[in-house]
Structure 1
Amino acid sequence: MDKLELYLSEADIQKAIKIYAEKINILYADKKLYCIGLLNGALFFMSDLLKHLKNCFVVDTMSVASYEKITSTNNVKIYKDISKDIAGQDVLLIEDLIDTGQTLSVVIEKLQEKKPNSLRVVCLADKTDMHPNFKYPYDALFTFPNEFVVGYGFDYDDQYRQLPDVYIFRGE
Protein backbone atom coordinates (compact mmCIF):
# COMPACT_ATOMS: atom_id res chain seq x y z
CA MET A 1 0.00 0.00 0.00
CA ASP A 2 1.34 3.43 -0.97
CA LYS A 3 1.79 5.98 1.79
CA LEU A 4 0.42 9.46 1.16
CA GLU A 5 1.13 12.44 3.41
CA LEU A 6 -1.20 15.45 3.04
CA TYR A 7 0.74 18.47 1.83
CA LEU A 8 -1.77 20.94 0.38
CA SER A 9 -5.53 21.04 0.86
CA GLU A 10 -8.13 21.52 -1.84
CA ALA A 11 -9.36 24.66 -0.04
CA ASP A 12 -5.89 26.25 -0.18
CA ILE A 13 -5.54 25.34 -3.85
CA GLN A 14 -8.91 26.85 -4.75
CA LYS A 15 -8.20 30.05 -2.80
CA ALA A 16 -4.89 30.57 -4.65
CA ILE A 17 -6.53 29.88 -8.02
CA LYS A 18 -9.22 32.51 -7.40
CA ILE A 19 -6.61 35.10 -6.47
CA TYR A 20 -4.54 34.32 -9.57
CA ALA A 21 -7.62 34.42 -11.82
CA GLU A 22 -8.36 37.95 -10.61
CA LYS A 23 -4.83 38.97 -11.59
CA ILE A 24 -5.35 37.53 -15.09
CA ASN A 25 -8.76 39.20 -15.36
CA ILE A 26 -7.13 42.57 -14.69
CA LEU A 27 -4.05 42.04 -16.87
CA TYR A 28 -6.04 40.85 -19.88
CA ALA A 29 -9.25 42.86 -19.48
CA ASP A 30 -10.91 43.38 -22.87
CA LYS A 31 -8.43 41.05 -24.60
CA LYS A 32 -8.81 37.58 -26.01
CA LEU A 33 -6.53 35.15 -24.20
CA TYR A 34 -5.29 31.88 -25.67
CA CYS A 35 -5.09 29.40 -22.80
CA ILE A 36 -2.93 26.35 -23.44
CA GLY A 37 -2.84 23.55 -20.90
CA LEU A 38 -0.19 20.87 -20.70
CA LEU A 39 -1.77 17.46 -20.49
CA ASN A 40 -2.30 15.44 -18.51
CA GLY A 41 -1.10 17.01 -15.28
CA ALA A 42 -2.46 20.54 -15.73
CA LEU A 43 -5.97 19.39 -16.60
CA PHE A 44 -7.43 19.93 -13.12
CA PHE A 45 -5.63 23.24 -12.52
CA MET A 46 -6.56 24.53 -15.97
CA SER A 47 -10.21 23.62 -15.55
CA ASP A 48 -10.50 25.33 -12.18
CA LEU A 49 -8.60 28.42 -13.34
CA LEU A 50 -10.71 28.89 -16.47
CA LYS A 51 -13.91 28.79 -14.42
CA HIS A 52 -12.83 32.05 -12.77
CA LEU A 53 -11.71 33.95 -15.87
CA LYS A 54 -13.97 36.72 -17.07
CA ASN A 55 -11.92 37.39 -20.20
CA CYS A 56 -12.78 36.07 -23.62
CA PHE A 57 -10.55 33.06 -24.06
CA VAL A 58 -9.74 30.19 -26.39
CA VAL A 59 -8.76 26.80 -24.99
CA ASP A 60 -6.14 24.49 -26.46
CA THR A 61 -3.88 21.75 -25.12
CA MET A 62 -0.54 20.13 -25.68
CA SER A 63 0.39 16.65 -24.59
CA VAL A 64 4.01 16.31 -23.54
CA ALA A 65 5.92 13.92 -21.33
CA SER A 66 9.39 13.39 -19.94
CA TYR A 67 8.73 11.16 -16.92
CA GLU A 68 8.39 7.44 -16.38
CA LYS A 69 6.96 6.71 -12.93
CA ILE A 70 9.03 9.05 -10.69
CA THR A 71 12.11 9.49 -12.89
CA SER A 72 12.80 12.07 -15.60
CA THR A 73 13.87 10.43 -18.85
CA ASN A 74 15.65 13.64 -19.99
CA ASN A 75 13.80 13.18 -23.27
CA VAL A 76 10.82 15.46 -23.88
CA LYS A 77 8.20 13.98 -26.19
CA ILE A 78 5.42 16.06 -27.74
CA TYR A 79 2.47 13.76 -28.37
CA LYS A 80 0.01 16.51 -29.32
CA ASP A 81 0.83 20.06 -30.38
CA ILE A 82 -1.60 22.98 -30.19
CA SER A 83 -4.25 23.09 -32.89
CA LYS A 84 -4.83 26.85 -33.02
CA ASP A 85 -2.76 29.63 -34.59
CA ILE A 86 -1.32 31.80 -31.82
CA ALA A 87 0.64 34.23 -34.00
CA GLY A 88 0.08 37.75 -32.66
CA GLN A 89 -2.05 36.49 -29.77
CA ASP A 90 -1.73 36.77 -25.98
CA VAL A 91 -1.06 33.28 -24.63
CA LEU A 92 -1.36 31.86 -21.12
CA LEU A 93 0.50 28.55 -20.81
CA ILE A 94 -0.86 26.51 -17.91
CA GLU A 95 1.39 23.88 -16.31
CA ASP A 96 0.99 21.78 -13.20
CA LEU A 97 4.56 21.70 -11.91
CA ILE A 98 8.00 23.04 -12.75
CA ASP A 99 10.37 20.36 -11.56
CA THR A 100 13.59 20.27 -13.58
CA GLY A 101 12.18 22.83 -16.02
CA GLN A 102 13.31 20.73 -18.98
CA THR A 103 9.84 19.93 -20.34
CA LEU A 104 8.59 23.46 -19.90
CA SER A 105 11.69 24.91 -21.60
CA VAL A 106 11.04 22.80 -24.69
CA VAL A 107 7.35 23.77 -24.75
CA ILE A 108 8.09 27.49 -24.32
CA GLU A 109 10.62 27.43 -27.16
CA LYS A 110 8.12 25.64 -29.44
CA LEU A 111 5.41 28.17 -28.62
CA GLN A 112 7.73 31.15 -29.09
CA GLU A 113 8.50 29.86 -32.60
CA LYS A 114 4.79 30.39 -33.37
CA LYS A 115 5.22 34.16 -32.75
CA PRO A 116 2.61 34.99 -30.08
CA ASN A 117 2.21 38.63 -29.06
CA SER A 118 2.91 37.61 -25.45
CA LEU A 119 3.48 34.37 -23.58
CA ARG A 120 2.71 34.18 -19.87
CA VAL A 121 3.44 30.96 -17.97
CA VAL A 122 1.66 29.89 -14.82
CA CYS A 123 2.22 26.73 -12.84
CA LEU A 124 0.34 25.47 -9.86
CA ALA A 125 3.54 24.41 -8.14
CA ASP A 126 7.23 25.06 -8.40
CA LYS A 127 10.24 23.14 -7.11
CA THR A 128 12.67 26.06 -7.30
CA ASP A 129 15.62 24.05 -5.95
CA MET A 130 15.34 21.65 -8.90
CA HIS A 131 15.81 24.19 -11.71
CA PRO A 132 18.30 26.90 -10.76
CA ASN A 133 19.05 27.65 -14.42
CA PHE A 134 15.47 27.88 -15.70
CA LYS A 135 15.55 31.12 -17.70
CA TYR A 136 11.92 31.93 -18.46
CA PRO A 137 9.66 34.19 -16.35
CA TYR A 138 6.64 32.49 -14.80
CA ASP A 139 4.05 32.72 -12.06
CA ALA A 140 3.81 29.96 -9.46
CA LEU A 141 0.91 29.61 -7.04
CA PHE A 142 2.86 27.38 -4.63
CA THR A 143 6.43 26.31 -3.93
CA PHE A 144 6.88 22.60 -3.20
CA PRO A 145 9.74 20.77 -1.50
CA ASN A 146 11.85 18.37 -3.53
CA GLU A 147 9.41 15.53 -2.91
CA PHE A 148 7.32 13.47 -5.30
CA VAL A 149 3.70 14.61 -5.11
CA VAL A 150 0.37 13.16 -6.21
CA GLY A 151 -3.20 14.40 -6.31
CA TYR A 152 -4.92 17.33 -8.01
CA GLY A 153 -3.54 16.28 -11.39
CA PHE A 154 -0.15 15.05 -10.20
CA ASP A 155 0.27 11.34 -10.73
CA TYR A 156 2.39 8.32 -10.03
CA ASP A 157 2.23 6.03 -13.05
CA ASP A 158 -1.22 7.44 -14.01
CA GLN A 159 -2.62 6.95 -10.50
CA TYR A 160 -3.84 9.46 -7.88
CA ARG A 161 -4.59 12.36 -10.28
CA GLN A 162 -8.22 12.47 -9.13
CA LEU A 163 -7.45 13.23 -5.47
CA PRO A 164 -8.67 16.75 -4.59
CA ASP A 165 -5.70 17.49 -2.29
CA VAL A 166 -1.95 17.24 -2.93
CA TYR A 167 0.03 14.58 -1.09
CA ILE A 168 3.68 13.75 -0.72
CA PHE A 169 4.06 10.27 -2.18
CA ARG A 170 6.12 7.94 -0.03
CA GLY A 171 5.56 4.78 -2.09
CA GLU A 172 5.19 1.37 -0.58
Structure 2
Amino acid sequence: MAIETYISQEKIESRIKELARQIDQDFGGEEVVVVGVLNGAFIFVADLIRQMKSPVYFDFIGASSYKGTESTGKITITKDIKVDIKGKNVVLVEDIVDTGLTISELNVLLKEREPKSIKLATLLHKPAKTAHPVSIDYLGFEIEDKFVIGYGLDFDGRYRELPYIGIYNG
Protein backbone atom coordinates (compact mmCIF):
# COMPACT_ATOMS: atom_id res chain seq x y z
CA MET A 1 0.00 0.00 0.00
CA ALA A 2 1.39 3.42 -0.96
CA ILE A 3 0.99 6.04 1.74
CA GLU A 4 0.57 9.63 0.60
CA THR A 5 2.67 12.12 2.61
CA TYR A 6 0.41 14.72 4.18
CA ILE A 7 2.87 16.58 6.47
CA SER A 8 6.59 16.06 5.88
CA GLN A 9 9.15 15.13 8.51
CA GLU A 10 10.87 18.50 7.96
CA LYS A 11 7.66 20.48 8.55
CA ILE A 12 6.97 18.50 11.74
CA GLU A 13 10.50 19.08 13.09
CA SER A 14 10.35 22.81 12.36
CA ARG A 15 6.93 23.23 13.98
CA ILE A 16 7.97 21.30 17.11
CA LYS A 17 10.94 23.66 17.60
CA GLU A 18 8.52 26.61 17.43
CA LEU A 19 6.13 25.00 19.92
CA ALA A 20 8.98 24.24 22.35
CA ARG A 21 10.13 27.88 22.22
CA GLN A 22 6.57 29.06 22.87
CA ILE A 23 6.18 26.73 25.87
CA ASP A 24 9.56 27.81 27.30
CA GLN A 25 8.58 31.46 26.91
CA ASP A 26 5.17 30.95 28.53
CA PHE A 27 6.61 29.23 31.62
CA GLY A 28 9.66 31.48 31.99
CA GLY A 29 12.05 28.82 33.26
CA GLU A 30 9.63 27.19 35.72
CA GLU A 31 9.44 23.40 35.77
CA VAL A 32 6.86 21.89 33.44
CA VAL A 33 5.23 18.51 33.93
CA VAL A 34 4.62 17.14 30.45
CA VAL A 35 1.88 14.49 30.40
CA GLY A 36 1.77 12.58 27.14
CA VAL A 37 -1.32 10.67 26.06
CA LEU A 38 -0.42 7.10 25.10
CA ASN A 39 0.09 5.60 22.72
CA GLY A 40 -0.03 8.13 19.92
CA ALA A 41 1.77 11.08 21.53
CA PHE A 42 4.96 9.27 22.56
CA ILE A 43 7.06 10.40 19.57
CA PHE A 44 5.72 13.96 19.75
CA VAL A 45 6.48 14.11 23.50
CA ALA A 46 10.04 12.84 22.99
CA ASP A 47 10.80 15.34 20.23
CA LEU A 48 9.08 18.22 22.05
CA ILE A 49 10.88 17.82 25.38
CA ARG A 50 14.26 17.47 23.64
CA GLN A 51 13.67 20.94 22.14
CA MET A 52 12.52 22.55 25.40
CA LYS A 53 14.92 24.51 27.62
CA SER A 54 12.59 24.53 30.66
CA PRO A 55 13.16 21.95 33.39
CA VAL A 56 10.87 19.05 32.45
CA TYR A 57 9.37 16.13 34.30
CA PHE A 58 7.34 13.86 32.09
CA ASP A 59 4.90 11.04 32.54
CA PHE A 60 2.31 9.32 30.42
CA ILE A 61 -1.40 8.69 30.77
CA GLY A 62 -3.13 6.03 28.72
CA ALA A 63 -6.57 6.72 27.34
CA SER A 64 -8.45 5.04 24.56
CA SER A 65 -11.61 5.97 22.68
CA TYR A 66 -10.99 4.43 19.25
CA LYS A 67 -11.62 1.08 17.62
CA GLY A 68 -10.22 1.01 14.11
CA THR A 69 -10.93 4.36 12.46
CA GLU A 70 -14.00 5.28 14.57
CA SER A 71 -14.43 6.81 18.03
CA THR A 72 -16.39 4.63 20.46
CA GLY A 73 -17.83 7.71 22.17
CA LYS A 74 -16.36 6.90 25.59
CA ILE A 75 -12.86 6.88 27.04
CA THR A 76 -11.10 4.30 29.11
CA ILE A 77 -8.06 5.14 31.25
CA THR A 78 -5.54 2.38 30.59
CA LYS A 79 -2.60 3.91 32.53
CA ASP A 80 -2.57 6.76 35.04
CA ILE A 81 0.26 9.17 35.80
CA LYS A 82 2.43 8.54 38.85
CA VAL A 83 3.57 12.13 39.45
CA ASP A 84 1.66 14.37 41.86
CA ILE A 85 0.73 17.45 39.79
CA LYS A 86 -0.77 19.52 42.61
CA GLY A 87 0.58 23.07 42.35
CA LYS A 88 2.60 22.29 39.20
CA ASN A 89 2.52 23.57 35.62
CA VAL A 90 1.16 20.83 33.38
CA VAL A 91 1.25 20.55 29.60
CA LEU A 92 -1.02 17.77 28.39
CA VAL A 93 0.33 16.49 25.07
CA GLU A 94 -1.90 14.72 22.55
CA ASP A 95 -1.19 13.46 19.06
CA ILE A 96 -4.51 14.53 17.54
CA VAL A 97 -7.68 16.27 18.69
CA ASP A 98 -10.58 15.29 16.50
CA THR A 99 -13.86 14.77 18.41
CA GLY A 100 -12.28 16.35 21.51
CA LEU A 101 -13.77 13.68 23.77
CA THR A 102 -10.53 12.16 25.08
CA ILE A 103 -8.83 15.46 25.77
CA SER A 104 -11.88 17.07 27.42
CA GLU A 105 -12.26 14.07 29.74
CA LEU A 106 -8.53 14.03 30.57
CA ASN A 107 -8.61 17.78 31.22
CA VAL A 108 -11.37 17.29 33.82
CA LEU A 109 -9.48 14.40 35.42
CA LEU A 110 -6.23 16.37 35.69
CA LYS A 111 -7.89 19.60 36.91
CA GLU A 112 -9.31 17.62 39.85
CA ARG A 113 -5.68 17.10 40.95
CA GLU A 114 -5.22 20.87 41.40
CA PRO A 115 -2.29 21.76 39.14
CA LYS A 116 -1.02 25.37 39.13
CA SER A 117 -1.85 25.51 35.44
CA ILE A 118 -2.82 23.12 32.68
CA LYS A 119 -2.28 23.74 28.98
CA LEU A 120 -2.89 21.57 25.96
CA ALA A 121 -0.41 20.84 23.18
CA THR A 122 -1.51 18.78 20.22
CA LEU A 123 0.33 17.95 17.06
CA LEU A 124 -2.86 17.83 14.98
CA HIS A 125 -6.38 19.23 15.21
CA LYS A 126 -9.25 18.14 13.00
CA PRO A 127 -11.88 20.90 13.50
CA ALA A 128 -14.43 19.27 11.17
CA LYS A 129 -14.82 16.39 13.69
CA THR A 130 -14.85 18.42 16.92
CA ALA A 131 -17.94 17.62 18.98
CA HIS A 132 -16.41 18.48 22.38
CA PRO A 133 -14.72 21.89 22.02
CA VAL A 134 -11.38 22.20 23.80
CA SER A 135 -8.94 25.06 24.15
CA ILE A 136 -5.67 24.24 22.39
CA ASP A 137 -2.74 26.31 23.65
CA TYR A 138 -0.03 24.83 21.43
CA LEU A 139 -1.12 23.57 18.02
CA GLY A 140 1.14 21.90 15.50
CA PHE A 141 -1.15 21.69 12.47
CA GLU A 142 -4.84 22.03 11.68
CA ILE A 143 -5.83 19.30 9.23
CA GLU A 144 -8.72 18.26 7.02
CA ASP A 145 -11.06 15.41 7.94
CA LYS A 146 -8.78 12.59 6.77
CA PHE A 147 -7.63 9.50 8.65
CA VAL A 148 -3.92 10.07 9.20
CA ILE A 149 -1.10 7.77 10.28
CA GLY A 150 2.56 8.05 11.12
CA TYR A 151 4.62 9.99 13.65
CA GLY A 152 2.94 8.07 16.47
CA LEU A 153 -0.54 7.86 14.93
CA ASP A 154 -1.69 4.41 13.97
CA PHE A 155 -4.23 2.24 12.29
CA ASP A 156 -4.85 -0.72 14.64
CA GLY A 157 -1.32 -0.44 16.05
CA ARG A 158 0.51 -0.12 12.73
CA TYR A 159 2.37 2.75 10.99
CA ARG A 160 3.37 4.66 14.17
CA GLU A 161 7.03 4.47 13.13
CA LEU A 162 6.65 6.60 9.99
CA PRO A 163 8.68 9.85 10.36
CA TYR A 164 5.94 11.88 8.64
CA ILE A 165 2.14 12.16 8.74
CA GLY A 166 0.49 10.20 5.93
CA ILE A 167 -3.04 9.66 4.73
CA TYR A 168 -4.37 6.16 5.31
CA ASN A 169 -6.28 4.85 2.32
CA GLY A 170 -6.79 1.28 3.59
TM over 0.5, yes or no? Answer: yes
Question: How much does 1:104 deviate?
Answer: 0.7
- Answer yes or no: is the 8 Å Cα contact 2:100–2:134 preserved in 1: no
* Aligned Cα root-mean-square deviation (Å): 1.1
The residue that corresponds to 1:153 in the other structure is 152
What amino acid is aligned across from residue 75 of structure 1 in structure 2? K
Question: How much does 1:135 deviate?
Answer: 3.9
Q: Does residue 115 of structure 2 align to residue 116 of structure 1?
A: yes
Distance in 1 of aligned mates of 2:26 and 2:41: 22
Question: How much does 1:87 deviate?
Answer: 0.6
- Answer yes or no: is the 8 Å Cα contact 2:99–2:132 preserved in 1: no
What secondary structure is seen at the aligned counterpart in 1 of 2:3? strand
Q: Does residue 162 of structure 2 align to residue 163 of structure 1?
A: yes
Question: How much does 1:132 deviate?
Answer: 5.2
Gap regions ≥5 residues in structure 1: none
The residue that corresponds to 2:78 in the other structure is 79
**Identical columns (%):** 34
- Provide Cα deviations, 1:7-27, integer angstroms capped at 9, x if missing partner: 000000000000111111111
Distance in 2 of aligned mates of 1:152 and 1:32: 26
What amino acid is aligned across from residue 42 of structure 1 in structure 2? A
- Provide Cα deviations, 1:55-105, integer angstroms capped at 9, x if missing partner: 111111101101011111112000111111101111011100001000111
The residue that corresponds to 2:31 in the other structure is 32
* Number of equivalenced pairs: 170
- Answer yes or no: is the 8 Å Cα contact 2:100–2:131 preserved in 1: no
Question: How much does 1:28 deviate?
Answer: 1.3
What amino acid is aligned across from residue 116 of structure 2 in structure 1? N
Counterparts in 2 of 1:9-48, with a 5 A limit? Answer: 9-48=8-47
The 10-residue stretch of structure 1 (138-147 or 158-167) with the greater mean CA deviation from structure 2: 138-147
The residue that corresponds to 2:63 in the other structure is 64
What secondary structure is seen at the aligned counterpart in 1 of 2:118? strand
What secondary structure is seen at the aligned counterpart in 2 of 1:167? strand
Distance 1:47 1:24, change over 3 A: same
Distance in 1 of aligned mates of 2:36 and 2:10: 22
What secondary structure is seen at the aligned counterpart in 2 of 1:51? helix
The 10-residue stretch of structure 1 (156-165 or 25-34) with the greater mean CA deviation from structure 2: 25-34
Distance in 1 of aligned mates of 2:151 and 2:7: 10
Gap regions ≥5 residues in structure 2: none
Distance in 2 of aligned mates of 1:138 and 1:79: 25
